[in-house]
Structure 1
Amino acid sequence: MSADRTSVLGMETKSTAQGARPGRVAERLLADRHSLPLSIALHLLPGVLIVAVYLLIARPLTRAIGYPPFLGWAIAMLLALAPFELGLLLWLGRRRNGRFSLRGVVHYLDKPLPRGKLVVLVIPLIVWFLVVSFALMPMDSFFYELLFRWLPFEGAGGGLTDGLAGYPHSVMVVALAVCIPLTGLAFPVIEELYFRGFLMSRLSRLGRWAPVLSTVLFSLYHLWSPWVFLSRVVFFLPGPWFVWRKKDLRVSLGMHAGTTFLLQTLGTLALLLNLLP
């Protein structure tokens, strides 16, 4: 074997070895199972960061430019949710694989469900999400009025139109339209990769309770809307449960991103056509 060939093989072996030894922190995060304290911390930390960025950066910014707080939350998620959740997954992928890849980091990506069965499953889940979330809105309002009015989140306790009330029509339309690709699509996809594909898959020792705990912790992660905790557990649980049952992340991806994109787009169109009160 030539010296050049030996050198190349040596470099490849070194690169592979480096990819196989991700480091102590990465090894702990990439383990097949997470301890309960670690899992709780990884679920809640992004929510803490989002609220902190909103209060320190996004809220003052939207106030200064005259836009509703709804846009402030999208900015906070852009600055906190995306870098932390997606950034952590990509960093772990690079540490494990030697390149930016989700292989071995995010599970349930083997796509075991045929496309037809996936569609038949996701559409009822979207309907469930919409119907139950709207049906439980009075309960959300009750908890907000009872326990959470003190939170410094303007317009947080009402519906979408309450959060936009008092702003010019053009400002409201722009705020909602800008959020369609963010809160309507990109952020839900990132959340599903992180919370279901990464975190829930490492709660496997809990068996059928894994999707339940995943949903509870995911609901707690929404620190900016704690009054929706109970209803969020109810209308969101079927998605994680079917991901765990079918081993296909596309189920909750379709339910979550499909519902938020639909609501965001239809809400923007309704506002644009003056169909909202």
Structure 2
Amino acid sequence: MKNSIEQLAIPSLLVNHFYVGVIITLFYIGFSPMIIHAGFPGISVLLAAEIFILAPLVFAHLKISARKQSVPIQDLILFRQRLSPKSFIAWSLFGLLACAVVYLPLYPVGLFLRENWFGWLPEWYFNPLYGTENIQLIANTFLIGIVVDGLIGPIAEELFFRGYLLPRMAFLKNWAPLVNGSLFGLYHFWQPHNFLATMAVGIVLSFVAWKTKNVYVAIVIHCTLNILGAVGGFMAASGGIVISR
């Protein structure tokens, strides 16, 4: 990686990693009661946040940064090194396996923290089925989530966190993936009980992008994970089963 790449100061890094998450969380808290009262599941608010907050803010941030530096937006995404198809597939499979290895043991920890540390939060904060008993509506919401949370959300996040921010943390050297992944996990303020799990997955994604210098591998891993989650939610909801976030 070239030394001429703009490096961000620590305060700027913290702001850039967190401000989108703060806005999403405020949107989620502010609009969920109203949406639930209207008969829609609470998780639909998060899907709306990905469409109307996450993606537009990431695009606006990159567009403003590109204008300031007088470069095309795509030139801000620095991890675009070419990989052979074999390497791309191998790193993608490694990332998927590593994410599963770190996430699965931490999922029950999140459930424990939810019950014992965050039990004071309302049920709709964690229960995607809360707000309606219409199973078909729930299933359709998860079906929409396959596109929104499976593609739009993770692509925006990876372009921003791994494609844009991570290269600008090179001054941290080998600590950069650990810091970037941890901050990415903490950015999920709407899932405080899952901080450990989201941090662990974030570190894996950052490590893969850092080692390959290719953000597209991280995008494939992230999209695959989210699509599997949305499909699982769709199948569970179709069978009347509640899956907590």
The aligned counterpart of 2:17 is: 43
What does residue range 159-198 of structure 1 map to in structure 2 within 5 Å?
162-164=127-129, 167-198=133-164
Contact 1:188 1:256 (C-alpha < 8 Å) held by counterparts: yes
Change (3 A) 1:82 1:124: same
CA-to-aligned-CA distance 1:143-189 (integer Å, 9 cap, x gap): 22222222356141xxxxx4315521111111111222111111101
Q: Deviations over 1:199-237 (max 9, x none)?
A: 111110111100000011111110001111112222332
Deviation at 1:122, TM superposition (A): 0.7
Aligned residue in 2 for 1:52: 26
Show the counterpart of 2:103: 133
Deviations 1:118-162 (A, max 9, x none): 111112321332343233211111222222222356141xxxxx4
Q: 1:119 aligns with which of 78, 89, 112?
A: 89
Query: 2: CA distance between counterparts of 1:62 and 1:175?
Result: 13
**Aligned-pair identity (%):** 25
Q: 2:74 maps to which residue?
A: 102
User: Offset of 1:275 from its aligned partner?
Assistant: 7.8
Cα 1:89–1:227 change in 2 (3 A) is: same
Determine if the alignment matches structure 1 residue 65 to structure 2 residue 35.
no
Which of 244-253 and 234-243 deviates more?
A: 234-243
Q: Identify unmatched segments of 5+ residues in structure 2.
A: none
Give the conservation status (yes or no) of the 8 Å contact 1:184–1:260: yes
SS at match of 2:6: coil
User: 1:211-222 to 2 correspondence within 5 Å?
Assistant: 211-222=177-188
Residue 88 of structure 1 deviates from its aligned partner by 0.8
Task: Indicate conservation of the 8 Å contact 1:109/1:248, yes or no.
Answer: yes
Q: Which has the larger radius of gyration?
A: 1
Aligned residue in 2 for 1:15: none
Contact 2:58 2:160 in 1 (8 A): yes
SS at match of 2:117: helix
Q: State TM-score, norm by structure 1.
A: 0.78
- The gaps in structure 1 that reach 5 residues or longer are 1-29, 157-161
The answer as to whether partners of 2:42 and 2:124 remain within 8 angstroms in 1 is: yes
Inter-CA distance 231–266: structure 2 relative to 1 (3 Å threshold): closer
After TM superposition, give the deviation of residue 268 of structure 1 in Å.
Answer: 1.7
**What one-letter code is carried by the residue in structure 2 that aligns with 1:163?**
P
Task: Show the counterpart of 1:93.
Answer: 66
Note the alpha carbon deviations across 1:15-74, whole angstroms, 9 max, x for none: xxxxxxxxxxxxxxx961000011001111111100111222x31442243111111111
- Paired AA for residue 128 in structure 2: G
Q: Are residue 149 (structure 1) and residue 119 (structure 2) matched?
A: yes
Distance 1:171 1:238, change over 3 A: same
Which runs of structure 1 show a deviation greater than 6 angstroms over 4 or more consecutive aligned residues?
A: none
Q: Give the distance between the partners of 2:227 and 2:63, measured in 1 at CA.
A: 24
**Which letter does structure 1 place at the counterpart of 2:88?**
L
Please give the alpha-carbon distance, in whole angstroms, between the structure 2 residues aligned to 1:209 and 1:153. Answer: 37
How far apart, in 2, do the equivalents of 1:41 and 1:51 lie? 15
Output aligned runs, 1:69-80, within 5 Å.
Answer: 69-80=42-53
